[in-house]
Chains A and B, each alone.
Chain A
């Protein structure tokens, strides 16, 4: 058992904290939200220069060779500042898919470009009807003249509007809900027949609806084994859960700190509101929730590389539930203890609240993961 960070990890944390302190104040972030893309290419390049985009990518592909704990630390720092750049979509989801399923040529071509900041990916898997059912894919890919033709539509594709390439799941066999028969494809965003409509999610991060009509792909576009993509998709989602669990902990840390500060400075009835024991206990409950959540985010990070799929899935589901509940409790009370000011767009706490809300509804919500755990109660 060891909860200590290595020197490298401390260095990473410090340098990211320093970068974000200078570039990601609430006001700077608000300005970014107003730009058409909703995030900063310049910062993205800075992330690349600092080695952040290559953090979990192998050294042979131009990366840093870091592990899940490094990603956890980075995502936590991103959560503290509500970073808007497409790190989750490109490095975590896209990078994981390539790492797990890419052949040598695909990895050799794409991973160095991710690390260098010159290529962005999106994971185009979920569909309008699928909600949280991972195997529910109606998009199809059929073989045609040595290649493939894609038909269908993808919904709420994170950062799908700015991605250069999309990793698209499609049915190559089987019925709409079947585990077997799914395949992944690397699709150029400019491919003919692919159309995107970008928009903001409630927390300001970007997403897109993607339609695919008669999109022709060469044989090499296939990522991984035909018909057997579900285990890869599961692992990509697990990586997403672990990364966003850490991000939620970062957002909760900021909300907790803001709330504490407010309890000490806001005066009503002639004294700081934090002198009311009712609110002291609430703040203590927020701390308890945050620490329990933090433990679960650690569990998620330590489990993403667990080789046993059942054990891995179980730990990840536990983390999703624990962090989801902690996030809801901390964020709801952060607003409550601020009173009216917490309800305003001009004040930061509501922005953190919305990030937690969006993350809870990605990759399976609390109820879905609790259901999966309930299936296995022995």
Chain B
């Protein structure tokens, strides 16, 4: 047993850190440091910079344009990227559709889609959830009926993140409503978002942003060539997708970066006549976060090592521990940032609007985006399988209850 990274891993971390430091555009970094989410173009720009260096598809094997890194290297890269802070790699492209196509795609699908996904020439979105099918995903109703060389798709998806930016959507559809088990009548389709019959309607979330959408399909024709895996075997593909890449699930680098930001601003703001950073209660809160983050870091390494030893093909139920703890820490760190800001974090300062109108911003820069991430991150324990569902998984798969 040895908790230290090998000299090679330490050198690798240095290399990644140096590359990000030297190549991440300053303006993007500065906005993200203040808590703003990356703009569409920020994500595209950063993915392309990384792709030119061979790093965008950080978890793909070499033959498909990835760097061929070990699970530990991927974890290090992911953490450094989040901690920079740099835009997160578009997960729909990199950790979802990429690995799925590598595993299940036809040679044509691989040749066409993989290079484009890496370079973000195509922005992908995930069309799984429906109004009646959230936690109970297998109850999805969107229908696809085979007609000649096409499937004709009718139905509705909801909570489709960034569908308004997307060029393509990977979608779960029902192809056999008569199947004995609900899971057996589902197929996995790749749908061009420009196809006639698709309507994307925005859903504004409680932080005021447009991230979510409803997507309506009316007689949408999808070529049979865009089926991934076999017809009616889409559930296997979806399970692979959801269980595949767990190293990023805790997003620990993000929590670390937020705690760092909270500490930085705590040097500026005052609490009972002194800088907040000197307050014992605040320091204990930070210390508690640091304890929890350290524990999660080691748990994450354990899960990754076991995954690597098992040949990297079996999702570990302990990854639910990473999801639950990781999202709790994300939420707690965003809460801490907001609390540091205090009353200054409460206004909608509208720095962007002020900038557009050529007026000075009203509040301090650091306060502009302290409450919005707290609001948006309430969703972290909802998406990707709610934390209640993760605990059900642990009960069943680990505890045998």
Mark A residues whose CB is within 8 Å of B. Answer: 126, 128-133, 136, 155-156, 177, 197, 199-202, 207, 209, 267-270, 273, 276, 278-279, 332, 335-336, 339-340, 342-346, 350-351, 353-354, 357-358, 361-362, 365, 367-368, 370-371, 374
Contacts and interface: CB of A to CB of B under 8 A. Distances in A.
B345 to A, nearest CB: 7
Contact of B382 (A336, A357, A368): A336
10 contacts: A200-B347, A278-B388, A278-B392, A340-B383, A343-B376, A345-B208, A367-B282, A367-B339, A371-B271, A371-B281
Nearest to A209: B362
A158 to B, nearest CB: 10
B371 A357 contact: yes
* Among B273, B282, B347, B371: residue with most chain A CB under 10 A: B347
A202 B362 contact: no
B203 interface: yes
A351 B343 CA distance: 18
A200 B348 CA distance: 6
Contacts of B362: 197, 199, 209
B13 interface: no
A130 B158 CA distance: 44
A209 B346 CA distance: 13
Contacts of A269: 135-136, 139
Interface in B268-286: 269-273, 276, 279, 281-282, 285
Interface string B260-304: 000000000111110010010110010000000000000000000
B313 interface: no
Contacts, number: 147
A339 B212 CA distance: 14
Given A209-B362, A336-B382, A371-B281, A268 B347 contact: no
B70 interface: no
Count class of interface residues, chain B: 35 or more
Interface string B365-388: 000000100111011011100111
Q: Interface centre among A339, A353, A358, by most B CB within 10 Å?
A: A339
Nearest to B268: A129
Contacts of B338: 357, 361
Contacts of B350: 199
A130 B270 CA distance: 7
B205 interface: yes
B64 to A, nearest CB: 33
Contact of A156 (B132, B272, B343, B382): B343
A202 B270 CA distance: 22
Nearest to A335: B378
A371 B272 contact: yes
Contact of A128 (B212, B276, B364, B379): B364
Contacts of A340: 129, 134, 158-159, 212, 379, 382-383
A155 B343 contact: yes
A27 to B, nearest CB: 16
Nearest to B383: A340
A71 to B, nearest CB: 23
Contacts of B348: 199-202
A290 B192 CA distance: 48
Contacts of B225: none
B343 A354 contact: no
B391 interface: yes
A140 to B, nearest CB: 19
Counting from the closest, the 9 A-B pairs by CB-CB distance are: A350-B206, A268-B136, A345-B204, A269-B136, A340-B159, A156-B343, A131-B342, A201-B346, A343-B379
A133 B271 CA distance: 7
Interface string B160-181: 0000000000000000000000
B385 to A, nearest CB: 11
B344 interface: yes
A202 B205 contact: no
B92 interface: no
Nearest to A350: B206
Contact of A132 (B134, B271, B346, B383): B271
Given A129-B269, A278-B392, A354-B375, 18 more contacts: A128-B344, A131-B343, A155-B344, A197-B362, A207-B347, A267-B132, A276-B388, A340-B158, A340-B383, A342-B382, A343-B206, A343-B376, A345-B205, A354-B206, A357-B374, A361-B346, A368-B272, A371-B281
B347 A339 contact: no
A357 B388 CA distance: 24
B58 to A, nearest CB: 29
